[in-house]
Amino acid sequence: MAHPSQLGFQDAASPVMEELIHFHDHTLMIVFLISTLVLYIITAMVTTKLTNKYILDSQEIEIVWTILPAIILIMIALPSLRILYLMDEINDPHLTIKAMGHQWYWSYEYTDYEDLGFDSYMIQTQDLTPGQFRLLETDHRMVVPMESPIRVLVSAEDVLHSWAVPALGVKMDAVPGRLNQTAFIVSRPGIYYGQCSEICGANHSFMPIVVEAVPLEHFEAWSSSMLEEV
């Protein structure tokens, strides 16, 4: 999760998020080089007293400033398209979970099980125990097996919401009457926090998302215990 004064991304916990961080670094380097070149040209124009009477009509310069931006755009577009296709690819998910947004909580339904579903409310500040995080903890976590393809179907019951977990590189709008889907693979066990990322009313800030990734055998034990409680 994020820590105070953090400027960069959260530690990646999924292959897609790792790709997004690499793409960010790649694009940032291109932006840095362009900015350095522009700054150098501006500085040279301001400080030099030399002039060139052919500068207003130069075929060479026009060729350069036409071809160079095209090359730069290709360098950005190709890895971007690769990641977009990677994010849309959902091959044989091992588990499908339906996440429904409400004002102001999330409900989860494990569609591969007959009666496995629950509501997830934020734990109030006065009810937190030592070690829990304010405005981030929920009474029920969305538990998933690690290193397994997970598909999440996202919708909403009332108004627009958005299901987002930054460490997993996931953000999907929850639209009433529409079923969107996203997928991810959690690379390592842990607890990953997210929040509703679409302003949805007075308590928009108080509907966090908690995803807990565990080994497969622990997930099977958890699902069995949840089914016994039904």
State the pLDDT at residue 7. Answer: 83
Contact 208, 193 (CB under 8 A): yes
pLDDT, tens digit, 9 for 90 and up, residues 153-212: 999 999 999 999 999 999 999 999 999 999 999 999 999 999 999 999 999 999 999 999
pLDDT, tens digit, 9 for 90 and up, residues 106-127: 999 999 998 899 999 999 999 9
What is 208-225 written as a DSSP string? EEEEEEE-HHHHHHHHHH
Among residues 141, 118, 123, 129, which one has the least CA distance to residue 189?
A: 141
Residue 34 pLDDT level (bands cut at 50, 70, 90): very high
Alpha helix ranges (H) inside the chain: 15-47, 59-88, 216-229
pLDDT at residue 38 above 80?
A: yes
Beta strand 142-145 with 208-214 is: parallel
Residue 141 pLDDT level (bands cut at 50, 70, 90): very high
pTM of the model: 0.85
pLDDT at residue 144 above 80?
A: yes
State the pLDDT at residue 55. Answer: 66
pLDDT, tens digit, 9 for 90 and up, residues 42-95: 998 888 877 776 666 678 888 888 999 999 999 999 999 999 998 888 888 999
